[in-house]
């Protein structure tokens, strides 16, 4: 069965925060709960007449480590037996077009272009076969990191701090439902130069496996986000840079770093 692809977008117009489906350069406006039987209002708006927001406000953001064979091989790491992940805090959320802010601390700031899974239904202890039914859709993410912080203290790897600064998790521009994640490719473009270009089907744990395995650790709720991890090509950004994460079918997530 061929699934219809929908691209859900969240936006602000005047003082109202709204959502709908992006169809060309127009937004078909919906009301209610994006994750629970949203209802079309019959209205539409031009994309260029609104301010695009992050496509959702996640309850929690879980970010994977060592989930791509190519990067693991480059780093000399064996594929993990189970998903390895950390939490990115809600203050990291950033909309498309927003500015990634350089932290007050020293250290190079690194981009990591990634596919992000958006959970659509309350999910606990589901099987791999059931897991796709709990995925609302997919979006682009940039898992920004101050890499030098991670191992700064030899007694405690600082993953959450390194990835937890304000604006360090741009998401968007839309949540696309109906895509086959195994067919997707992530491209990261820094100042018009392609720095990452890797296939999602190189993941150690697939989208369904991630959702299933993590749901055995904790309840995943509608609007929670799982960042799938990144592959080769990660690099640092200098202030004044433009960074873009592009996935066909989802679009291009573009931000400045200042």
CATH number of 1-53: 2.30.30.370
Across the beta sheet with 251-257, the strand order is 99-100, 251-257, 241-247, 185-190, 193-199
Q: Which residues on neighbouring strands pair with residue 102, listed in sequence order? A: none
How far does the chain reach from its first CA to its final CA, in angstroms? 45
Beta carbons within 10 angstroms of residue 127's beta carbon: 11
The CATH H-level superfamily of 56-257 is Fumarylacetoacetase-like, C-terminal domain (3.90.850.10)
Rounded Cα gap, residues 157 and 151, in angstroms? 5
| pLDDT lower than 50: segments of the chain | 1
The pLDDT of residue 1 is: 44
What is the location of CATH 3.90.850.10 in the chain?
56-257
| Alpha helices (H) along the chain | 69-75, 159-163, 207-215
- Digit-coded pLDDT (tens) for 140-153: 999 999 999 999 99
User: With contact defined as beta carbons under 8 Å apart, do 15 and 51 qualify?
Assistant: no
CA atoms within 13 A on the CB side of 150: 12
> Whole-model pTM?
0.97
pLDDT at 3: 66
Query: Tell me, what's the pLDDT at 42?
Result: 97
Where does the chain hold its CATH 2.30.30.370 domain(s)?
1-53
Question: Of 27, 19, 29, 21, whose CA–CA distance to 49 is shortest?
Answer: 27
- How many C-beta neighbours within 10 Å does residue 186 have? 25
Contact 170, 94 (CB under 8 A): yes
């Amino acid at each position: 069965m061929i699934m219809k692809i929908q691209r859900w977008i969240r936006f602000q117009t005047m003082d109202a925060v709204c959502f709908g489906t992006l169809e060309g350069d127009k937004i078909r406006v919906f009301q209610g709960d994006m994750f629970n039987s949203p209802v079309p209002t019959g209205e539409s708006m031009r994309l260029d007449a609104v301010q695009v927001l992050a496509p959702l406000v996640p309850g929690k953001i879980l970010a994977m480590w060592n989930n791509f064979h190519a990067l693991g091989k480059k780093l000399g790491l064996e594929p993990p037996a189970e998903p390895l992940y950390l939490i990115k805090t809600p203050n990291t959320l950033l909309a498309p077009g927003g500015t990634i802010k350089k932290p007050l601390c020293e250290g190079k700031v690194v981009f990591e272009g990634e596919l992000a899974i958006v959970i659509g239904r309350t999910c606990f202890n589901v099987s791999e076969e059931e897991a796709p039914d709990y995925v609302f859709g997919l979006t682009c993410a940039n898992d920004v990191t101050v890499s030098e912080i991670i191992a700064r203290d030899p007694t405690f790897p600082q993953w959450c701090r390194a990835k937890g600064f304000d604006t360090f998790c741009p998401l968007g521009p839309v949540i696309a439902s109906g895509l086959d994640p195994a067919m997707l490719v992530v491209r990261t473009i820094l100042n018009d130069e392609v720095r990452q270009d890797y296939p999602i089907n190189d993941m150690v744990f697939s989208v369904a496996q991630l959702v299933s395995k993590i749901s055995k650790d904790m309840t995943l709720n509608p609007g929670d986000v799982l960042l799938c991890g990144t592959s080769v090509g990660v690099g640092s950004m200098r202030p004044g840079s433009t960074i873009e994460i592009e996935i066909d079918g989802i679009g291009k997530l573009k931000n400045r770093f200042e």
